[in-house]
Structure 1
Amino acid sequence: MEFLFALAIFLVAFLGLAAGLMLTGRPPQGSCGGLACVGGGACEVCPRKSAENGEEKDG
């Protein structure tokens, strides 16, 4: 019974996240901007990383 309850909670959370993505029409976005910040490696173009290092990012 506990398994079904936990499964139901996960399904509701999953469906809520999916509905939010579909209703907003935007792609998923992580802390570094998702696909908007595609670069050549580990978040090299991330504006947050640049701000933490004290650098200004043009763009």
Structure 2
Amino acid sequence: MSTFLITLIVVAIVIAAMAIGVMFGRKPIAGSCGGIGSLGLDCEFGCKKPCSKRQARMEAAKAEQQH
């Protein structure tokens, strides 16, 4: 039982530390390969009207493909 309690306390401390880091403006945890955004699929799943930054990236990608 003591092993379980120690493990629970350690996990709670780690989660609290990560939350505090995010609250103070540190970059959130991200995957090492960039996640689904690196595949170009991040806006295809329900994003009907992309934000202006995404629209600019999409237009730049189209222009680059045409050249």
TM-score by length of 1: 0.47
TM-score by length of 2: 0.43
| Higher RCO (Cα < 8 Å, 6 or more apart) | 1
